[in-house]
Amino acid sequence: MVSRVTTPDDPAVDSLRLAEDVLGQALKAGASEAEVLVTGDDSYLTRFANSEIHQNVAETNRSVNLRFVDGKRIAVLSSGRTDDEGLRNLVERAAAIAKTVEELDDWAGLPGPADGITVQPAATWAAPTADATPELRAEGVRAVIAAADAAGVVAYGSFSTGEDSIAVANSAGIRAAERRSSSQLITVHMSPGGGNGYAEMVSMDVSTIDAAAIGREAATKARASDNAVGLAPGDYPVVLEEYAVVDITDMLGYLGFSALAVQEGRSFVEPGKRIGSDLVTIVDDGADAAGLPMSFDYEGVGKERVMLVQHGICRGVVYDSQTAARDGRRSTGHGLPAPNPYGPFPLNTVMSAGATSRDDLIGGLDRGLLVTRFHYTNPVHPKLAIITGMTRDGTFLVEDGKIVGPVRNLRYTQSYLDALAGVSAVSSTRKTIKGFLGGAVIPAVRIDAWTFTGATEH
Amino acid sequence: MRDLTDRALDTANSLGAEYADVRVVRRLEESISVKTGRVEGVAIGETEGFGIRVLVDGAWGFASSNRLESGEADRVAGLAVRIAKASATALRNRVVLDSRPAAHGTYETPLTEDPFTVPLETKIDDLVTADRLAAEVKGIAFTESMYAAQREWKTFAATDGSFVEQTITHIGAGLEANAIEGDEHQRRSYPDAGGGYSAAGYEFIRSLNLKDHAEAYAEEAVALLSAPQCEPGRKTIILDPSQLYLQLHESCGHPSELDRVFGTEASYAGTSFLTTDKLDEGFRYGSDQITIVADATAVHGMGTFGWDDEGVAAQAVPLVKEGIFVGYLSSRETAPRIGRQSGGAMRADGWNRIPLIRMTNVNLLPVPGKSLDEIVADTDDGLYLASNRSWSIDDRRLNFQFATEVAYEIKGGKKGRLFKNPTYTGITYEFWRSCDAVADERSFVMLGTPNCGKGEPGQTGHVGHAVSGARFRNVQVGVGKW
């Protein structure tokens, strides 16, 4: 059993109790196997724009997801109703539907407690985050706005806090329960001179978020990017800040580092294939305390530390129980809630730091661009990981190792694999960022060539 | 239900709210996913809860819960008020709402065949039959097919006495054939990338007739593997409805959202180049062929309803008239700032999200004269682009780049050979100004997307787009190198 009880009133304990109750009902209703995932959510988000709070929300939610197996026939039902009648209906309906669907001929069964190797994080939850109040978030927002006011710029962003409880019980013996917390403060500051600046801080523990520092970082960047000038598209060396690099690691995780993508022939991953320079090492590590840790996946399988890229060489991909069974191996603990036609994903990406200071990253550019962040990225050619997107919130021309001024935003159409191969320096410091796949720990990088294919007016 | 909404509103009122509204939403979803001829998943989901939005001291607060109990209504209303008071500590301009008559009534999506009463076996069989036909085509690596239906029962009540009940049903299906050879991965989707969607019943799925199109689309995916690359250059392009709707979505729908214009989405999705001075000056958004309307009353549109999620009646709002920018998608809070009444575009993704300005059905109206086929016949040299594969646009909605699944060469007015990996790029207003022909009503079709993202925390919107196809001149095609 993977269980991390934090306090006697830990909602994960109650969620596990509920999961076991529904599991018992499913087995009584004739399930040959069953899995119950219970998720609870208490989340809050304070949003600001034009240097004032304009949206401010709270959500309390709980949901039960039942995977009902009848031989090799499977139905998945979920419900937000957790009263007796709601749960009874859920089980009865699942049993009825499971009888009507076709068999999955390669169904390998639900995972058991011995089917994963857990690397236990030190902690997944922090009381200050769970206890965060609307007043605390407003105080943080006011600090960000004060920094913007001091610089004569305007603040836009959000400050979120929340906790989840996750519990999984299945008929193969898995019992997993955990309480997780996360907080995030992001801001875009906009200057009257047209400049924009971005800053972000993510933490399991909200008390470590320094709102004033975030405000100052974005304000400085916004002022520095005033009066940007146009630059002709073309190939330029770049320094990508952490906020941009996370799009590379997430997109490669989405397109390639999934066992299902490999099994379907749509991944670029081949074990032993070089896809990056020696400086590139990427793992998925649910136990890394710098990220947003988690002990197990949505099938209740313990999360294994998976080496994805080691010194530029492809080493592995992540598995859930079904993709693992197809390859005759164990799950790495990267399953998503059933049913999941998308396959497993790395949700805790950690890229190794290098040895280069931030100043030296920029100092190593003869003529190139410093990019703060990317916007609206999308695959153009998934198997080659060719992605298009825009720069945003601070793009600067660098000459002879020094920033000479801001440039207007550029469009790129660039293979992220070629980008990894061109990494010539990695920063010695890293940031924790929420990418689209989850919490990631990411350095800044210098890349020898980046293909910009268009320009815009700001 | 009325007991709960009354309780929530009364509590909010008693705690000092100058305005409050509450939405109770129950959502039922059913989906089937099929991969390479076999059912990978059958899922049914149900969620219900309520959300209370309050104005206190001119500031907003919102709280929500999945527990439909009177005691919980008190707690959540109290939390919403507390949150609003916290908002007021960082407020520079008090929120002012436009006036509107209290909303009363009911609305239900018109449909013929209730998708939730069609036997599951029938739905599975329809999908699997089509998917297997595609999967059996030689050279296909894998196929993916999907069916999805969603029904929402929504109750809206407000302290001004409004009380509205709506039942909205959306449905969709589609199949996708994938061919892979070495590094080349080609895909063809029917009816559109991601599936075809409608506000309708199962009759819509029957009308798609998936099985009769499966093999042809799969064969085209295989043919693309050996097709020549779409070469770069400035060309005439004709956009099929399956691509034009997304072009409209990204480069007209989103920049017309008045909340983006006022910066309230700046930190996430971005802002808009369509600033209010452009409304005043009569900005030329496109050629005189371009007339765009946001129509929440359009038949079968996924942006169709009786009232929006702040109780404003559905209406058709002109956005662009014969090329001139004339209006925005707006709300009760934003419209007064430009001296107008709300256009009724506030929509929320379920009970646990606040309403945001969202597209309804943003439609490019057909132009009488030429059919889409006649426009092709009238084109000497160009490309016909169909079915979206990739999309991206900058944070003010100016510089866009799209990829489509397929391009057909047009020579001497006839569609000919295939090109693979087509892309095109441009600046929004330059692109729409380059349109010299919009097809007439014969190809006018209501399409839609069920995955429009916006807001923090994230919301997914269902929106509609009716389009007929159009021709654009001197467009940059073929971006990138591989």
> pLDDT tens digits, residue range B175-187?
999 999 999 999 9
How far apart CA A299 and CA A336 sit, in angstroms, is 7
* pLDDT of res. A341: 86
On the question of pLDDT at B59 being above 90, the answer is yes
* pLDDT of res. B435: 98
Residues 345-384 of A with CB under 8 A from B: 375-384
Nearest to A429 by CA among A190, A241, A280: A241
Interval B94-106 mean pLDDT: 96
Interval A215-230 mean pLDDT: 97
* Burial class for A47, CB neighbours closer than 10 Å (0-12, 13-18, 19+): buried
Nearest to A407 by CA among A415, A398, A416: A398
Asked if A380's CB is within 8 angstroms of B421's CB, the reply is yes
- Residues forming CATH 3.30.2290.10 domain(s) in chain B: 2-225
How far apart CA A297 and CA A332 sit, in angstroms, is 9
On the question of pLDDT at B129 being above 90, the answer is yes
On the question of pLDDT at B53 being above 60, the answer is yes
Residues 192-251 of A with CB under 8 A from B: none
* pLDDT of res. A5: 54
* pLDDT of res. A9: 74
Category of B269 on φ-ψ map: left (φ > 0), alpha (ψ -120 to 50) or beta: alpha
Report whether the peptide linkage leading into residue A271 is cis, meaning its omega lies within 30 degrees of zero. Answer: no
CB B141 within 8 A of CB B292: no
* pLDDT of res. A11: 87
On the question of pLDDT at B400 being above 70, the answer is yes
- Residues forming CATH 3.30.2290.10 domain(s) in chain A: 2-218
Residue of B nearest to A56 (CA): B61
Asked if A454's CB is within 8 angstroms of B479's CB, the reply is yes
Could you say which DSSP state residue B102 is in?
P
Asked if B43's CB is within 8 angstroms of A134's CB, the reply is no
Average pLDDT, chain A: 95
* pLDDT of res. A100: 87
On the question of pLDDT at A412 being above 60, the answer is yes
B267 at the A interface (CB within 8 A)?
A: yes
At residue A4 the predicted structure's pLDDT band, cuts being 50, 70 and 90, is low
* pLDDT of res. B481: 66
Average pLDDT, chain B: 97
On the question of pLDDT at A246 being above 90, the answer is yes
Among residues of chain B, what percentage have pLDDT more than 70?
100
At residue A102 the predicted structure's pLDDT band, cuts being 50, 70 and 90, is confident
* pLDDT of res. A3: 54
* pLDDT of res. B480: 72
Interval A57-80 mean pLDDT: 95
Asked if B121's CB is within 8 angstroms of A377's CB, the reply is no
* pLDDT of res. B156: 98
HSE at residue B360, side-chain half, CA atoms within 13 A, is: 30
Interval A51-63 mean pLDDT: 97
Domain A2-218: give its CATH code: 3.30.2290.10
Nearest to A240 by CA among A453, A437, A425: A425
* pLDDT of res. A119: 67
In this structure, of A7-11, A424-428, A444-448, B262-266, the range with the lowest mean pLDDT score is A7-11
* pLDDT of res. A8: 60
A338 at the B interface (CB within 8 A)?
A: yes
The complex's ipTM works out to 0.96
* Residue A258 C-alpha, separation from nearest chain B C-alpha, in angstroms: 16
What are the E-state strand segments in B182-307?
184-190, 196-198, 233-239, 292-295
Asked if A63's CB is within 8 angstroms of B457's CB, the reply is no
Distances (CA, A) of A389 to A63, A167, A386: 35, 38, 10
Q: Right CATH number for B2-225 from 3.40.50.1820, 3.30.2290.10, 3.40.50.920, 1.25.40.10?
A: 3.30.2290.10
A158 at the B interface (CB within 8 A)?
A: yes
Buried/exposed code over B23-41 (b: 16+ C-beta within 10 A; e: otherwise)? bbbbbbbbbbbbbbbebbb
Question: For strand B184-190 and strand B324-325, is the pairing parallel, antiparallel, or unpaired?
Answer: unpaired
B457 at the A interface (CB within 8 A)?
A: yes
B479 at the A interface (CB within 8 A)?
A: yes
Q: In terms of pTM, does the model score above 0.95? A: yes
Interval A268-283 mean pLDDT: 97
Interval A405-422 mean pLDDT: 98
* Residue B187 C-alpha, separation from nearest chain A C-alpha, in angstroms: 11
Interval B33-60 mean pLDDT: 94
On the question of pLDDT at A2 being above 60, the answer is no
How far apart CA A311 and CA A318 sit, in angstroms, is 18
Q: List, for residues A335-377, the tens digit of each pLDDT value.
A: 999 998 889 999 999 999 999 999 999 999 999 999 999 999 9
Interval B156-163 mean pLDDT: 98
CB B50 within 8 A of CB B23: yes
Asked if B43's CB is within 8 angstroms of A77's CB, the reply is yes
Interval B404-415 mean pLDDT: 98
